[in-house]
Amino acid sequence: MNEKVKERLLSVLCAVISIGLFLGFWWWGTQRTQLGKLLPDPGTVFTAMCGYITGTVGKCSLLMHMLSSLRRVLIGFVIGSLAGVSLGLLMGRYALARAVFNPLYRVIRPIPPIAWIPISIIWLGLGEQAKIFLIILAAFANTTLNAMTGARDVDPELINAARMLGAKEGQIFRTIVIPAAVPAIFAGLQVGISSSWASVVAAEMIKAENGLGWIIQAGMDNNNMSQILAGIIMIGVGGFALTCIMRTIEGVMCRWNKSGR
């Protein structure tokens, strides 16, 4: 116990020193070198960020921008991952479904969601729809494959066990295949949420009136490095929050997979 506390203190101390040194170098660089012409010092960025949060940047405050990005991600992610997981489970369990859909899926999967931006604008215009379409794609492409592998690799002994206890195919799919695939599904959802977050930022950078992607893009257009950095920080915070939420849900859903170790 004592050792553990010591180790914890030490790593916190090291983290503080490390980040402190980083900020120190940054500050020193902006004050004493050519870098100052390009980059604001950390204090300026911090003050600017506080201003963006309490005041406005563009039409609303920084937090509202983050909320609109999050809203797009959540809508798209829910639709895309539901579709992806369902299709993946079916493809994993039934050879017929795999034969029909897998060739088409394999054409779509290697195209990064971001490469769909131009065509989605042609099809759906510059509004919300095009962005949500993009996130649906990002979530779909990443979750399908994992759900498929998860459903395909269910231990055949478990299926036999269910059969000898009287389960019919439909019951096996619902009570055995789906829960057995949950860890694999969550691995896919985890990648899917990161990819969706990156996609929303990209979509907002191309064309939007709000959102974190817009913040950094507008910052570039106005040559405002503080705004870009504030945006990047918020993008990091958002990405981190989404990953944490996914992990927490996974922890609850997959309690049986890890507990006792």
| Choices 24-32, 84-92, 145-153, 172-180; region in contact with another protein by CB under 8 A | 172-180
Q: Select the residue interacting with another protein from 50, 100, 245, 249 (CB under 8 A).
A: 100
Measured between alpha carbons, how far is 45 from 254 in angstroms, rounded to an integer? 41
Retrieve residue 92's tokens.
């994993």
User: b vs e for 87-121, b when ≥16 Cβ sit within 10 Å of the residue's Cβ?
Assistant: bbbbbbbeeebbeebbeebeeeeeeebbebbeebb
Residue whose CB is less far from another protein, 81 or 199: 199
**Residues in contact with another protein, shown as a per-residue x/- string from 27 to 56 under the rule CB under 8 A:** -----------xx-----------------
* 3-class secondary structure, 60: strand
Rounded distance between C-alpha atoms, residue 85 and residue 142, angstroms: 9
| Residues between 115 and 144 with contacts to another protein, criterion CB under 8 A | 115-119, 121-123
Task: Identify residues 217-256 at the interface with another protein (CB under 8 A).
Answer: 217, 219-220, 223, 225, 228-229, 231-232, 235-240, 243, 255-256
Whether residue 120 contacts residue 72, with contact meaning beta carbons closer than 8 Å, is answered with no
Q: Does residue 5 bind another protein (CB under 8 A)?
A: no
What's the min distance (Å) between Cβ of 243 and another protein?
7
Q: How far is the CB of 174 from another protein (least distance, A)?
A: 10
Site for another protein in 55-84 (CB under 8 A): none
Distance between CA atoms of residues 249 and 190, nearest Å: 11
